Amino acid sequence: MAKIMIQGTGSSVGKSIIVSALCRIFKQDGYSVCPFKSQNMSLNSYITLDGKEMGRAQVLQAYAAGLQPEAYMNPILLKPTSDKKCQIIVNGKVYGNSTAMQYHNMKLEFRDMLKEHFEKMEKKFDIIVMEGAGSPAEINLRDRDIVNMGMAESVDAPVLLAGDIDKGGVFASIAGTMLLFTEDEKKRVKGTIINKFRGDKDILEPGLKMLEDIVKVPCLGVIPHFRLALEDEDGAVEFNKKVTAPIDIAVIKLPHISNFTDLDALKSEEDVSVRFITSVEEFGNPDLVIIPGSKNTIEDLLKIRQCGLEDRIKEYSKTGLVIGLCGGYQMLGKVIEDPYGVETDVGKVEGIGLLDIETIFEKEKVTTRVNAKSEIDFPMKKDGESLTNRKLDVYGYEIHMGICKYGKDARPLFNITDKNGEKVDTEDGAINMSGNVIGSYIHGVFDGIDFREFIVNKIRENKGLGYKKSKAYENLREGELDKLASIVRKNLDIDKIYSIMGIKR
């Protein structure tokens, strides 16, 4: 079994996307390959087929490798709830909540478990592509490291060090990182990668040679800056603020926004612009307002109330379309209660009041994959023909602590027919009597064609635009992953990487 680890000079340098590229390249070359990140910190999570929670970055990497995502690819997920506190997910299940210091002191408890996970993976796959986190040169964390050099040493993995030239200072960041490594750590680094390059490579070339002389490690390539319709690193997403297409979808960028990948499928519609707003001044006149998920629903609701966005959303809802997802769905209701202090010490807070529902937070988290159909009939038109009694099929996953009670002025939105492979008959989401305020717990609800096509065509109809058929998001993702692999294959010394892993070709 071969292995390689991508570490970076800091956060957001492109580690996740490089791992995705390598997974797809090795798969294309006929190897069974699997991604692995021992510890991820992100509010962007995903639910596997067996109901376990993991980071979204490893989900994309799994797809690149031709695999279904599984929690062992990301055994530890940290979900920040404040600047100093987080929820700890271990092997896909909630382990507990802790402060940063508490978690720092408990990390060594997980070291043996992580190694055992890796050793099991070694028996199943030809190649494992590992990803580090943040910077590996955090010298204050070295003695308890379980995600960068500590993990690489534990499983004896060679390391490639990536730096982001788009930020500036890439030579200093690579040289500085190497300077802070111990002698054994320096020996583990077998190559460097310059990422996100714009410009003339001939001008860069002398610097690459000088860097090699300084760090005594070869540069394995320079990856150009590119834009593809793929999820970026969990902390590196660019929250667009401009209207760039005829259809303007405004998303409230909550302080603890989570699962913003719910919106990626909407971005795939060629006439749709998705922008993120944080103030009344940025609100504008959108065609749709979305309140996304949140890791701290009550605190984020109070924040948008304080800055005036709540009042603006209420005013907009008199004529506009509003959709709430998970935490955003809860905010749209009349009341949110937290009797067990799951999120905050605030026991009860008034909601925005656009949906006649009440939410109560429970102690246990719901983590399920679901299939559902629309509970109500959506009027649809295709090719000029009216389609009545249309039941929309949706699929996705639930990650939430709350349950909702319906009032007399709210109708369920979906009927869930399947949870983690078991047949069920339960209600989800809500829609107001006017049909313009909608909420659901289902993450990824736009990934399927039906609901996305209905919502966007409803907007097109309101704007006097023609109806369009939506494309399968999964097919788009596969094509983009192949493009990614092609770009990286052309610009990295893949033969050298095979050699570093001990594979002869």
Look at the alpha carbons of 101, 106, 111, 117 in this order and tell me if their dihedral is positive or negative: negative
User: How far is residue 15's CA from residue 131's CA, in Å, rounded to a whole number?
Assistant: 7
400 part of the active site: no
Catalytic residue chosen out of the listed positions 34, 219, 326, 404: 326
Helix (H) or strand (E) holding 473: helix 473-491
Alpha-helical (H) ranges within 307-421 are 309-316, 327-331
Residue 41's DSSP bridge partners are 78
Task: Give the integer Cα–Cα distance in Å for 491 and 381.
Answer: 46
The C-alpha atoms of residue 488 and residue 19 are separated, in whole angstroms, by 10
Residue 375 tokens, joined: 């509970």
Strand order in the sheet with 33-36: 33-36, 127-131, 2-8, 159-164, 189-197, 219-224
453: three-class secondary structure by DSSP = helix
Nearest of 355, 360, 359 to residue 409 by alpha carbon: 355
Nearest partner of 162 among 174, 149, 150, judged by Cα: 174
Amino acid making up residue 17: I
Within 78-200, where are the H helices?
100-106, 111-124, 149-155, 170-180, 183-188
C-alpha 62, offset from chain centre: 13
Instruction: Tell me whether strands 293-294 and 348-350 are parallel, antiparallel or unpaired.
Output: unpaired
Q: Token pair for residue 116? A: 């055992």
Q: Is 443 a catalytic residue?
A: yes
Q: Which amino acids are annotated catalytic?
A: 326, 443
